[in-house]
Structure 1
Amino acid sequence: MSVLYEVFLKRIEAICNEVAKEEWYNKIHDEMIKTRKLICEHDNSLQHLLEQYDSLCLELHTKTNEIIYAKAYKDGTSDAIKLTPNLTPKQ
C-alpha cells in the first residue's frame, strides 16, 4: 500500500469522525431513530413511516458522502502538492 493511499484512508476516517459530530448529522440520525420507533409502535401508517425512514437514510448518506469526499479530495490535493517537491528528482 502506498504512503499516499494510507494518508488518504486515515484522512477519510478522521473526516467520518468529524461528520458524525455535526449538528445536522445528529438531527437526521435522531429523526431516523424516532421514525424507527414509530414504525415498531404503529402498524396502521407503516408505509408512510417506511418511506420517511428511507428518505432520512438517503439524506444522511448523501450528505455525509458529499462532505467526506469533498474534504478528502481537497486534503489529498493539498498533500500531493506538498509531497511533489520530495518526489521530483533534484538536478
Structure 2
Amino acid sequence: MSMHHHHDDQNRQEEPRGPFLASRAGLVFLGFLAVGTLLLFTEHRAHVLGAVFWLLPLACVFMHMFMHGGHGGHGSHGKRNERKPS
C-alpha cells in the first residue's frame, strides 16, 4: 500500500510581495517595537540618561581606534630636525 502525494504547484500563483515592514505583520511589529521602546525608556530613564554621558568619550575612543588606520601611523613623532645650540 503506497501513498502518492500530488502537489498542485501549477495552479498555485505567487503573490507579489513587498518589503516586510510595509506588510500588515511588519506594521504590527513596528507598533510593538515602538510601545516597547517607549515603556523601556520611561521605566529606565535614569539608566538610559546615565549611559548617554559616556557616549561621547566612547565615540572618541572608538573613532580614534578604527578611523585613523590610513594616515601612516605615529612612528615619526620623535624624528624632528634638532637645532644645535650656538
TM-score, reference length from structure 2: 0.35
Question: Larger helix proportion, structure 1 or 2?
Answer: 1
Q: Which has the larger radius of gyration?
A: 2
TM-score, reference length from structure 1: 0.34
